[in-house]
Amino acid sequence: MLVLAVNAGSSSLKLSVLDGDQVVAARELPAPRAVVETRELEDALDGLPAAHAVGHRIVHGGARVAPALVDAALVAELEALVDLAPLHQPKSLAALRAVSGALPGVPAVACFDTAFHATLPPAAATIPVPAGWRERFGLRRYGFHGLSHAWAARRASALLGRPARVVTCHLGAGASLAAVHDGVCVDTTMSFTPLDGLVMATRSGSVDPGLVLWLAERLGDDEVADGLEHRSGLTALAGTGDMRELLARDDPDALLALEVYLHALVAHVAAMAAAMDGLDALVFTGGVGERAPAIRARAAARLRFLGVAVDDERNAAAAGEADVSAPGATARTLVVPSREDAVIARHVRDVLGEAALSPGA
């Protein structure tokens, strides 16, 4: 079965056709502000092999714990979740509509970033607010980047050769961690929305809710929401969310931004390890996690108390999947390229089975 994996990111739309886990063809289109140009999409699809089925990355699946076949009822359900992931959900839905329009009749499966975190125990999932609020609005820690965390944790277990206590670090423009114990997610840094947790490119990460209320009284809800989503994080501290630029600078703003970023990263890694009573492997994935050895090295230096240490030469030379641990380190440090497309393709096969569908049927 050839599967077209559709991944709507913050500024692009990635299209990959997979046979098993192998990418046989791929295209990437610009897609800012949830806009997908119909002609560009049709041209891109014309240049790809005809797929038997389509899999869509959907950031927020609400209470859903497994991938699902796309139909009108599911689309309506996902539209109701837009307010909980305003940076991502509109783009996912825009891509779903555009691809469905270009490939009518081809079965499509929605693959949810939140589903991987459905295994969180009550102590991790429960938000300590009035019960009536939780019941009325379905308030809980949902977690995000689940497709990426699932792949990174699976590869870590394969590289270690055994089930393990793994902290997966998805570090990119958006960033989150997951504590994965023997393949099961038991904690994560993002919560009810993708705004919580680590310091990110434009998002604040965790801030005092009292501060949010104080600002909302003075600036208004819309101004605060826009500021926390689009003008905070590294961008607020140093004028850019591009980690490559920050690492190349030595001015006070850039140095402070990196220190704030690392402070949050290290503190959250320690919290994830505490949720598993220890750490066997620390896994870096995502654009920053895979391609910023300086971030890996500086984080590892502050996590020595957990047995983490990297080999400078291995870390600097890492390209693709790599073990960059220093000799004698009790916790392994791994670099794993993100493969959300492979997880999407597996989910599609799970939902539809391996029946021999004719391309475009």
The answer to whether the CB of 112 falls within 8 A of the CB of 77 is no
Distance CA 39, CA 42 (A): 5
- Residue 113 appears among annotated catalytic residues: yes
> One of 46, 83, 113, 350 is an active-site residue; which one?
113
**Token representation of residue 180:** 């994965």
Q: Which residues contact 213 (CB under 8 A, 6 or more apart)?
A: none
Hey, which residues are catalytic here? 113
